[in-house]
Structure 1
């Protein structure tokens, strides 16, 4: 015999409307009541008809993640796997599905978002990057669609966002190199239109200025979040008349390319060039030498951002901007003491 919502309510000792609210994740239902009802639902084998529910409530229980470039290129960077793992953990726990979408350029991304929002296919969105003058953010605000940004908006102060203090993170990374006695420090950046790149550049430049060290245009190279980008950057940056002896690199995967490029040019790490990177992905401690990296709490960024979107959907008040702490994980790639004790 088919188990009904009334059967669940009777066994749980609550009203059918309370069971309905539990299924809908209503914010006014206590955690204890929600847990009890869900246990009874599982015990009785009750599965709510989510399609019928969506027709009545006009919800889809689907959150979209908008990828900022073609997926096949983006997913070459392990940072995004960890980020999506955090997103999925929160959505799965809350009974929501994940839809991944994007485009090959900014216009296609906007068209994708417009189609998803106006087609009623999603309840909210997550954006993985913030650009200057981003038309997607402008569109979402106009449509009053719940969304959160991983990063910070360059145009709006009140955009719901989860981020690191990227200025401080890059300041700390650069100061670590300075503390190791480095005086010629370069920067391998991401696309300069991104808020994260701009903030990390600011932190890098601030640390140099405070230590009265030079900021040289030839020591700064813009690229993408790809291994190949770091590899290509070395041909440019190390061809300077006086090349840097240390590098702050925007991302661990880019740093893998930096290691490859430096090795082909005959440079040793850290004896000739010290390296500090960002994201602390698992592979960063398996390189030769292991890479010093700033752990930005990647999983927590994804988890917290998706939690923020769900609360907006449920009309629960949120803190518009949340900062995930970072920490510097020091390994051999940046240590002067290691360089001094490795035979030449």
Structure 2
């Protein structure tokens, strides 16, 4: 006769739901209870039918991430690989898998998410960005489908999210430059539709205003998160504003391009212009000069996003619907 989960529960003197949670390695079950139940499972030779269990729980044991650009472009940015590493490190402890798909644009993102939700291929979705009037968020809320976003949403009380304190981090960067004597500091960031860009731009402006520096629109420019865009934006800035003495960027890839443009235009770093990045990518210490950057702990962001989402999916009690991951400014030779 086939051993059932009820027989395991009876001999372990626990509820069948407890056995099910042990099988999922639920964090709400004590290690002592896990050890006792696993001993009975081994003794009885119980083997759960994974397909039946998935159907019974209406669970795919999979989380989904839709990359916001083509997969090739996304993986050029080290943030994504570090973030995904954090997700996979956490979910593998609970026998969960990760489904990655790529989207060409915002409309395609929504199509990919809708397909994943309706096909029940995933139990929850991690959104890597959050925008103003975000259609992905609206759809997932309407569908009552579990999801977590990377970034601080406008309706932050209604949505699970993880983030850094991006406003404080960029404020610290800008104030560090001001304290070392910089007078005209430019800002190169991503689209201002993105909450992360808005938060970092706010920190830049707050630092300037605190020290009674003017906020000049001509010193603020948008660029995609690529080296090529960083180069283009810097050339555009320096052709119009020749007295810039520092450039803060919202991504190391933008900073790489910015440094290349500064050198090609005949300036020296940091003697003429200081440059800062964001994300503290692996190459940052090895550039010439080495790049001052903000460590955002992308792997920890991924881990915390997965943790919040899985707890919600497993009906575990959440202490909070969000988690803030600490940042640290790493000073190197690209600033003086």
TM-score scaled by length of structure 2: 0.91
Deviation, structure 1 residue 274: 0.5
Alignment of 1:107-186 (within 5 A): 107-186=107-186
The 3 A distance-change label for structure 1 pair 98 and 241 is closer
CA distance in 1 between counterparts of 2:242 and 2:260 reads: 20
Q: For the aligned residues, what is the CA RMSD? A: 2.5
Deviation, structure 1 residue 24: 3.4
CA distance in 1 between counterparts of 2:333 and 2:288 reads: 9
Deviation, structure 1 residue 9: 4.1
CA distance in 2 between counterparts of 1:69 and 1:333 reads: 30
Deviation, structure 1 residue 147: 0.8
For structure 2, which runs of at least 5 residues remain unmatched after alignment? Answer: none
CA distance in 2 between counterparts of 1:42 and 1:130 reads: 45
Deviation, structure 1 residue 210: 1.2
CA distance in 2 between counterparts of 1:7 and 1:317 reads: 25
CA distance in 2 between counterparts of 1:26 and 1:69 reads: 34
Instruction: Identify which range, 164-173 or 99-108, moves more after superposition.
Output: 99-108
Q: Is 1:83 aligned to 2:83, yes or no?
A: yes
TM-score scaled by length of structure 1: 0.89
The 3 A distance-change label for structure 1 pair 212 and 90 is same
Q: Is 1:98 aligned to 2:127, yes or no?
A: no
Residue 224 of structure 1 corresponds to which residue in structure 2?
A: 224
CA distance in 2 between counterparts of 1:239 and 1:45 reads: 74
Q: Is 1:321 aligned to 2:306, yes or no?
A: no
Alignment of 1:201-212 (within 5 A): 201-212=201-212
CA distance in 1 between counterparts of 2:96 and 2:58 reads: 14
Instruction: Identify which range, 24-33 or 191-200, moves more after superposition.
Output: 24-33
Instruction: Identify which range, 184-193 or 43-52, moves more after superposition.
Output: 43-52
- Deviation sequence 1:40-93 (CA, Å, 0-9, x none): 768998764322211121111100012122211111101111111101111111
The 3 A distance-change label for structure 1 pair 162 and 28 is closer
Residue 253 of structure 2 corresponds to which residue in structure 1?
A: 253
The 3 A distance-change label for structure 1 pair 169 and 49 is same
Deviation, structure 1 residue 132: 0.7
Residue 52 of structure 1 corresponds to which residue in structure 2?
A: 52
Alignment of 1:179-198 (within 5 A): 179-198=179-198
CA distance in 1 between counterparts of 2:5 and 2:56 reads: 18
**Would you say the 8 A contact 2:24–2:94 is kept in 1?**
no
**Would you say the 8 A contact 1:8–1:19 is kept in 2?**
no
CA distance in 2 between counterparts of 1:212 and 1:191 reads: 26
Aligned length: 334
Deviation, structure 1 residue 185: 0.3
Residue 334 of structure 1 corresponds to which residue in structure 2?
A: 335
